[in-house]
Chain A
Amino acid sequence: MPISAFLTDPSVCIGCKACEVACKEWNQIPDDGFEWYGQSYDNTHALGASTWRHVLFLEQKQPMGSQLAGTDEPFRWQFLSDVCKHCANAGCLEACPTGAIVRTEIGSVYVQPDVCNGCGYCIVSCPFGVIDRRSTEGLAFKCTFCYDRQAAGLMPACAKACPTQSIQFGEINDLRQRAKTRVEQLQQRGYEDAQVYDPQQTSVGGIHAFFVILGKPEEYNFPPAPQVPTIHLKTAWTYALASAAALLLVVCGAFFL
Chain B
Amino acid sequence: MPGLGTSFGRGGATTAPSDLLNSDAILIMGSNMAENHPVGFQWVVEARERGTQVIHVDPRFSRTSAMANIWAPLRSGSDILFLGGLIHYVLENGKDFREYVIHYTNASFILPEDFKDTEDLGGVFSGWDAKNKKYDASSWLYEGCAEGGKAVARHNAPHSGHCKYGAGTAADLIDCKRDLTLDHPRCVYQVLKRHFARYTPELVERFCGVSQERFLKIADTFCSASGPEKTGAICYALGWTQQSKGPQIIRAAAILQLLLGNMGRPGGGILALRGHASIQGSTDIPTLYDILPGYLPMPNLGLDSQSLADYVAKHRDKTGWWWNFDKYIVSLLKAYYGEAGSRENEWGFNWLPRVIGDHSHQGYFLEMLDGKIEGLFVMGQNPAVAGPNSRVERKALAKLKWLVVRDLVELETASFWQDSPEVERGELKPEEIGTEVFLLPAAGHAEKDGCFTNTQRLLQWHQKAVDPPGDARSETWFMYHLGRRLKEKAKQDPRPRNAGLNALTWDYSLEGKLQEPSVEEILQEINGYTVADRRLVSGFGELKADGSTACGCWIYSGVFPRPDENRANQRCSRDLLGHGWGFAWPADRRILYNRASARPDGRPWSERKKLVWWDENKKEWTGLDVPDFTRTKAPDYQPPNNACGDDALAGDKPFILHPDGTGWIWAPKGLADGPLPTHYESLESPVCNPLYPGQQSNPAALKEERSENQYASSPDERFPYVMSTYRLTEHHTSGAMSRMLPHLAELQPEFFCEISPELAAERGVENGGWVTIMTPRGIVEARALVTPRMWPLLINGKMVHQIGVPYHWGYRGLVKGDSANDLVAISEEPNVRIMEAKGILCNLSPGRRAQGKAALDELNFFLGGS
Q: Which A residues form the contact surface with B (CB < 8 A)? A: 12, 14-18, 20-21, 24-25, 30-38, 40-41, 43-44, 59, 61, 64, 66-71, 75-79, 163-165
- Residue contacts A-B, CB under 8 angstroms, 26 given: A14-B34, A14-B35, A16-B38, A20-B743, A20-B747, A30-B742, A31-B742, A31-B746, A31-B814, A33-B746, A34-B749, A38-B783, A41-B730, A67-B69, A67-B70, A68-B69, A68-B214, A68-B217, A69-B61, A70-B788, A75-B61, A77-B61, A77-B65, A79-B63, A164-B45, A165-B42
Contact of A38 among B217, B768, B789, B814 (CB under 8 A): B768
In the complex where A38-B768, A66-B69, A163-B39 touch, is A14 in contact with B211 (Cβ < 8 A)?
Answer: no
Residues of A within 8 A of B768 (CB): 37-38
Most buried by B among A16, A59, A66: A16
CB distance from A44 to the nearest CB of B (A): 7
Most buried by A among B39, B41, B743, B750: B743
A34 touches B745 (CB 8 A): yes
CB distance from A162 to the nearest CB of B (A): 9
Contact of B748 among A16, A25, A41 (CB under 8 A): A41
In the complex where A14-B34, A15-B63, A15-B66 touch, is A32 in contact with B789 (Cβ < 8 A)?
Answer: no
Residues of A within 8 A of B41 (CB): 14, 163-164
Residues of A within 8 A of B61 (CB): 69, 75, 77
Residues of B within 8 A of A17 (CB): 729-730, 747
Known: A34-B814, A37-B768, A38-B783. 14 other contacts (CB 8 A): A14-B41, A14-B63, A31-B746, A36-B749, A38-B785, A40-B785, A41-B748, A43-B747, A44-B746, A69-B71, A71-B73, A76-B66, A77-B63, A164-B41
Give the interface residue-count category, chain B: 35 or more
Instruction: For chain B, residues 305 to 320, give those with C-beta under 8 angstroms from any C-beta of chain A.
Output: none
Residues of B within 8 A of A164 (CB): 41-42, 45-46
Specify the chain B residue showing the minimal Cβ separation from A60: B788
Residues of A within 8 A of B630 (CB): none
Most buried by A among B46, B63, B211, B767: B63
B45 touches A16 (CB 8 A): no
Contact of A35 among B729, B749, B791 (CB under 8 A): B749
How far does the alpha carbon of A66 sit from the alpha carbon of B786 in the complex, in Å? 26
Contact of B35 among A16, A66, A78, A165 (CB under 8 A): A16
B67 touches A14 (CB 8 A): yes
Instruction: For chain B, residues 719 to 746, give those with C-beta under 8 angstroms from any C-beta of chain A.
Output: 728-730, 742-746
How far does the alpha carbon of A21 sit from the alpha carbon of B788 in the complex, in Å? 27
Specify the chain A residue showing the minimal Cβ separation from B210: A71
**B815 lies within 8 A of chain A by Cβ:** yes
**B787 lies within 8 A of chain A by Cβ:** yes
Majority secondary structure of chain A interface residues (helix, strand, loop or mixed): loop
Residues of B within 8 A of A44 (CB): 746-747
CB distance from B192 to the nearest CB of A (A): 29
**B533 lies within 8 A of chain A by Cβ:** no
B747 touches A12 (CB 8 A): no
How far does the alpha carbon of A59 sit from the alpha carbon of B62 in the complex, in Å? 11
How far does the alpha carbon of A35 sit from the alpha carbon of B46 in the complex, in Å? 34
In the complex where A12-B45, A68-B71 touch, is A77 in contact with B748 (Cβ < 8 A)?
Answer: no
How far does the alpha carbon of A17 sit from the alpha carbon of B738 in the complex, in Å? 14
Task: Report the 3 A-B pairs with minimum CB-CB distance, sorted nearest first.
Answer: A38-B768, A31-B742, A36-B750
B745 touches A31 (CB 8 A): yes
Residues of A within 8 A of B63 (CB): 14-16, 77, 79
CB distance from A160 to the nearest CB of B (A): 13
Residues of B within 8 A of A163 (CB): 38-39, 41-42
Contact of A18 among B38, B49, B787 (CB under 8 A): B38
B214 touches A75 (CB 8 A): no
**B752 lies within 8 A of chain A by Cβ:** yes
B745 touches A38 (CB 8 A): no
**B592 lies within 8 A of chain A by Cβ:** no
Residues of B within 8 A of A67 (CB): 68-71
How far does the alpha carbon of A135 sit from the alpha carbon of B70 in the complex, in Å? 46
How far does the alpha carbon of A120 sit from the alpha carbon of B358 in the complex, in Å? 66
Residues of A within 8 A of B789 (CB): 59, 75, 77
Specify the chain A residue showing the minimal Cβ separation from B48: A12
In the complex where A16-B35, A33-B746, A38-B767 touch, is A79 in contact with B66 (Cβ < 8 A)?
Answer: yes
A34 touches B42 (CB 8 A): no
Residues of A within 8 A of B815 (CB): 34
Residues of A within 8 A of B728 (CB): 41
How far does the alpha carbon of A75 sit from the alpha carbon of B72 in the complex, in Å? 12
B45 touches A14 (CB 8 A): yes
Specify the chain A residue showing the minimal Cβ separation from B71: A69
How far does the alpha carbon of A76 sit from the alpha carbon of B743 in the complex, in Å? 28
Residues of B within 8 A of A14 (CB): 34-35, 38, 41, 45, 63, 66-67
Contact of B70 among A15, A68, A71 (CB under 8 A): A68
- Mark contacts of B59-94 with chain A using CB atoms, 8 A cut-off: 1 yes-contact digit, 0 otherwise: 001010111111101000000000000000000000
Residues of A within 8 A of B784 (CB): 38
Specify the chain B residue showing the minimal Cβ separation from A20: B747
In the complex where A36-B750, A163-B42, A164-B42 touch, is A75 in contact with B788 (Cβ < 8 A)?
Answer: yes
Residues of B within 8 A of A165 (CB): 42
CB distance from A11 to the nearest CB of B (A): 9
B785 touches A43 (CB 8 A): no
CB distance from B418 to the nearest CB of A (A): 23
How far does the alpha carbon of A25 sit from the alpha carbon of B217 in the complex, in Å? 44
How far does the alpha carbon of A96 sit from the alpha carbon of B628 in the complex, in Å? 67
In the complex where A12-B45, A16-B729, A17-B730 touch, is A43 in contact with B749 (Cβ < 8 A)?
Answer: yes
How far does the alpha carbon of A59 sit from the alpha carbon of B61 in the complex, in Å? 11
Contact of A21 among B70, B743, B750 (CB under 8 A): B743
Specify the chain A residue showing the minimal Cβ separation from B814: A34
Residues of B within 8 A of A77 (CB): 61, 63, 65-66, 789
CB distance from B797 to the nearest CB of A (A): 17
Residues of B within 8 A of A32 (CB): 746
Specify the chain A residue showing the minimal Cβ separation from B746: A31
Residues of A within 8 A of B729 (CB): 15-17
In the complex where A66-B69, A163-B41 touch, is A71 in contact with B743 (Cβ < 8 A)?
Answer: no
How far does the alpha carbon of A204 sit from the alpha carbon of B746 in the complex, in Å? 33
CB distance from B816 to the nearest CB of A (A): 10
Contact of A43 among B211, B746, B767 (CB under 8 A): B746
Instruction: For chain B, residues 332 to 388, give those with C-beta under 8 angstroms from any C-beta of chain A.
Output: none
How far does the alpha carbon of A14 sit from the alpha carbon of B41 in the complex, in Å? 9
CB distance from A33 to the nearest CB of B (A): 7
How far does the alpha carbon of A35 sit from the alpha carbon of B768 in the complex, in Å? 11
How far does the alpha carbon of A36 sit from the alpha carbon of B752 in the complex, in Å? 9
